[in-house]
A and B are shown apart, each in its own frame.
Chain A
Amino acid sequence: MRLFKKHNNVLPGFGPTLGITLFYLSIIVLIPLSALVFNAAGMTWEEFLSAVTAPRVLASYKVTFGAAMIAAMINSFFGVLVAWVLVRYRFPGRRLVDALVDLPFALPTAVAGITLATIYSPNGWVGSYLEPLGIKVAFTPLGIVLAMTFIGLPFVVRTVQPVIEEIDVELEEAAVCLGASRRQTLQRVVFPLLLPSILTGFALSFARAVGEYGSIIFIAGNMPMVSEITPLLIITKLEQFDYRGATAIACVMLLTSFLMLMVINLLQKWSRRFTE
């Protein structure tokens, strides 16, 4: 008996390709990830709870999630602005700028990390101007926000950009014909259309920032309780051979990732309802 009906499909290779896909997915992704859950299941509940709620761990959540939230907000604002400017306005070098937006995707995180730390250190290109103003970026939580903003920017731009391209200009014309000012048009017509994609971009940027490691550790200063991010704490535990502690914290982070993934999927469904 066939498990799946063939729907008159004349194309061959469904069985083998799906089989290879499932096999490869299992050995590379699913089985290794389940190792994490099984390892955590070997701990007692009290053990797990005390590992994930130790003061130093709680402080790292606060730093990581707080900084990721601020970075995602900065990115939502500037990301929408950049996307709008790239789609709606014409200026020399636009295509080059458009390509450059993806730099944080392409530039290895370690390179971004040492570069940001150098530019924003007290005697760096930007840091030396901020120092007299009393603003310290490198080796403070502000540096973490900066690095997270850097790596998260393309997510907002690339999520919002296609939606702006899709907006039917007739909607805006209709608004004007009905007597709306430009500001009213943007506020009541354009912004509601963009909102789902802005929220998706925000969530993607936030999710990436929470898990980020390479670009942050160089600029963060990594002081326990102050500027220590959760991924670094996992590595610290591993280096002390505290595998259980590392596993427990990793489980909390993995759970957060799954929650974010669900939120992002729902947001994308919502935004598709608008575009289709």
Chain B
Amino acid sequence: MPASLPIPKKEKERAQSEPDAVRWLLITVALVFLALFLLLPLAAVFSQAFEKGLSVYLNALKEPDTLSSIKLTLVTAAVAVPLNLFFGVTAAWAIAKFTFPGKNLLITLIDLPFSVSPVISGLIYVLIFGLQGWTGPWLQDHDIKIVFAVPGIILATIFVTFPFVARELIPLMEAQGKEEEEAAMVLGATGLQTFFRVTLPNIRWGIIYGVILCNARAMGEFGAVSVVSGHIRGMTNTVPLHVEILYNEYNYTAAFAVASLLAFLALITLGVKTLAEWKVQLQLENK
């Protein structure tokens, strides 16, 4: 910095901040708003769930219908997340490490499922696989059920969680450049060796970030899954759908008990996400 007139410390502070009173007022307003809008609902989930004691809470979770909804949600996530992880890494490699025409269009298309209403995400599969849909009669002749059955739920979940890993990895891999990979190739590594030994360690936390968000949405998706599920108790109910059924039956304690599982998941997701964000930041700064 060239020698210039030194700005008095007090002036400098005034330049960058508000008077103390204003500052504390703004902090208070922001915190009260967040407490009312975010913290209160979170507290309410657990308070309602445990309202009638621990044994009622545990009994609600041990219901066979609840257990089968948990199982279906786990199966759905176990299919949707790895598929979208594989796709995300593949797409990010093609987009971040190479230049080609139509790249921006491709990125926009990958993000598309985020801008589509969840209800429409479910509807499109009903239109294709439903009885009145394109393949409906053929599927019925061959006794294959896709919508109002488990495959439909999995397809709709894959659709809504499609962009998570890719959209996290593309900017990260672009920021990291490709010099390290090029060095590995020049030194004689194969393509796969380069990916597993050079790229993967670099994008590890980015992957964790994308996967945890993808998983949260896969386990928590409601709108899209609701359209294709058919709501058969113990058969095609995921955890969020089961929460809806219990709530609509005025079984509030059980509804909130099951909902509290999803709230736990949300808290874990936020924790891991914050950690991953911090690690990615650290890695980029160390470059």
Q: Which residues of A line the B interface, CB within 8 A?
A: 4, 7, 9-14, 17-18, 20-22, 24-25, 28-30, 32-33, 35-36, 39, 78, 81-82, 84-86, 88-89, 91, 95, 97-116, 118-119, 125-126, 149-150, 153, 169, 172-173, 175-177, 182, 185, 207, 210-214, 218, 231-232, 234-235, 238, 241, 243, 246-247, 250, 253-254, 257-258, 260-261, 265
Contacts and interface: CB of A to CB of B under 8 A. Distances in A.
Contacts of B265: 106, 108
Given A14-B94, A97-B31, A234-B119, A35 B127 contact: yes
Given A110-B222, A218-B247, A39 B269 contact: no
Interface residues of B, number: 101
18 contacts: A9-B97, A28-B158, A28-B162, A29-B162, A32-B159, A89-B23, A95-B274, A108-B222, A109-B222, A115-B48, A150-B41, A153-B38, A182-B18, A182-B19, A211-B115, A253-B117, A261-B111, A265-B108
Interface stretch (B6-14, B58-66, B137-145, B200-208): B6-14
A112 B244 CA distance: 11
Contacts of A235: 119, 226-227
A77 to B, nearest CB: 10
B124 interface: yes
A243 B270 CA distance: 39
Chain B interface, >50% SS class: helix
B118 A214 contact: yes
B44 interface: yes
B243 A114 contact: yes
A35 B128 contact: yes
Given A29-B109, A82-B33, A89-B27, A107 B263 contact: yes
Contacts of A261: 108, 111-112, 115
* Listed residue (B90, B181, B273) with the most chain A CB atoms within 10 angstroms of its CB: B90
A81 B128 contact: no
Contacts of A104: 38
Nearest to A215: B222
A265 B36 CA distance: 32
A119 B133 CA distance: 41
Contacts of A21: 87, 90-91, 94-95, 106
B90 A29 contact: no
Contacts of B111: 261
Contacts of B213: 105-106
Contacts of A243: 126-127, 130, 132
Chain A interface, >50% SS class: helix
B244 A102 contact: no
A33 B122 CA distance: 10
Contacts of A150: 37-38, 41
B178 A107 contact: no
A102 B216 CA distance: 12
A82 B30 contact: yes
Contacts of A22: 106
Given A24-B90, A126-B36, A213-B117, 8 more contacts: A13-B195, A20-B90, A24-B91, A29-B112, A36-B123, A85-B26, A118-B48, A176-B15
Given A11-B185, A118-B252, A182-B18, A108 B220 contact: yes
Given A17-B93, A35-B128, A100-B34, A11 B181 contact: yes
A11 B90 contact: no
B116 interface: yes
A89 B116 contact: no
